[in-house]
Structure formats: structure tokens, C-alpha cells
């Protein structure tokens, strides 16, 4: 232990210590605090940019979901109109078109449910998820309404009212 202490130079004051340092060590001591500040600022900047990126990613998913809802609403309105015509005609009009409109609505609904599943990975506020869940729940009436329409067991007004509630 005594041999190690003998190798460490002893300085009388700070000036003598600074005079014995090489220019490389002096520059390192001078630049180290600045480098630490740059690294800290970079870390905060990276964190902030990452947070912004996550928010933009959620916004992008919300926009896609909104577009999907628009497509679903349009498909429901088309199906509502053709359903109304089908019932009013006693099942003679829209017999071939109605199944195609139903398939289009089902496709849009599947797309919306897929987009919503992706969106649920983002932390959405509870009021938003509650409203979306309630809106999607109203679409459960589709199969029952379609069966009633196919057998002409519902009035055109009632069918239109159900589709209107589902697309609102």
C-alpha cells in the first residue's frame, strides 16, 4: 500500500497541479461539463421527440378510424335505403342488390372493428372508448333486422329507424 502512495504525485496547491497537467487533460477537464450538458439536452430532446411521435401515431390511427367510420356510415345508409325500397316493393325491388349492399356493410364493419382493435392499444380516454363501444353495440341489431327484412316481417319505417339509430 505504501508503494502505491509513493507513485501518486503530491501537489502543494491547485496551480502546481494544473501546471503539471498535459494540454489534453486540461482540455478534457474544460470540455467535460459542456459535453455532459449536450448529452443531457440530447436525452431530453430524444424523449420529447419520441413522445411527439407516439402522439402522432395515435392521431394517425384516430384519423384512419374516423375514415373507416365514415365508410361504415355510408354503407349503412345505402343498405338502409335499399332495405326501405325492398320492403316498400313487397320484396320485388333490390332483391339482387340488397345482399351485395349487406356484404359491403359487413366489410366496412370488419374494417372498423380491426381499426378499433389497433386503436385500443393506444391509451384512449375512457369517455371516448365508452362512446365507441356504445356505437358499436348498436350495430348488433343488424343480423336481427336483416332477418326481419328478408322475410318482410318488419315495416319499412321501423327498419329505416333501426338503421338510422345504428348510423348515428
Rounded mean pLDDT of 93-107? 94
* pLDDT attached to residue 15: 67
Does residue 1 surpass a pLDDT of 60?
no
- 36 to each of 18, 39, 147, how far by Cα in Å? 22, 5, 70
Answer left, alpha or beta for residue 109, where phi above 0 means left and psi between -120 and 50 means alpha. alpha
Does residue 112 surpass a pLDDT of 70?
yes
Which residues have C-beta within 8 Å of that of residue 83, sequence separation ≥ 6? 94, 98, 145, 149, 156, 159, 160, 163
* pLDDT attached to residue 148: 92
Do residues 114 and 136 lie in contact, with contact meaning Cβ atoms separated by under 8 Å? no
Does residue 83 surpass a pLDDT of 60?
yes
Rounded mean pLDDT of 85-110? 93
Higher pLDDT: 65 or 124? It is: 65
- Please give the model's pTM, rounded to 2 decimal places: 0.69
Amino acid at each position: 500500500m505504501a508503494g502505491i502512495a509513493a507513485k501518486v504525485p503530491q501537489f502543494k496547491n491547485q496551480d502546481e497541479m494544473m501546471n503539471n497537467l498535459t494540454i489534453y487533460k486540461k482540455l478534457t477537464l474544460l470540455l467535460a461539463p459542456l459535453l455532459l450538458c449536450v448529452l443531457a439536452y440530447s436525452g431530453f430532446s430524444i424523449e420529447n421527440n419520441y413522445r411527439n411521435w407516439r402522439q402522432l401515431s395515435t392521431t394517425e390511427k384516430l384519423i384512419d378510424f374516423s375514415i373507416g367510420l365514415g365508410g361504415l356510415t355510408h354503407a349503412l345508409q345505402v343498405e338502409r335505403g335499399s332495405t326501405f325500397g325492398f320492403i316498400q316493393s313487397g320484396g320485388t325491388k333490390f332483391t339482387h342488390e340488397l345482399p351485395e349492399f349487406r356484404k359491403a356493410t359487413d366489410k366496412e364493419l370488419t374494417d372498423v372493428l380491426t381499426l378499433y382493435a389497433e386503436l385500443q392499444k393506444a391509451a384512449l380516454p375512457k369517455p371516448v372508448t365508452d362512446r365507441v363501444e356504445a356505437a358499436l353495440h348498436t350495430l348488433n341489431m343488424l343480423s336481427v333486422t336483416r332477418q326481419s327484412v328478408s322475410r318482410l316481417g318488419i315495416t319499412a319505417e321501423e327498419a329505416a329507424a333501426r338503421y338510422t339509430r345504428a348510423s348515428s
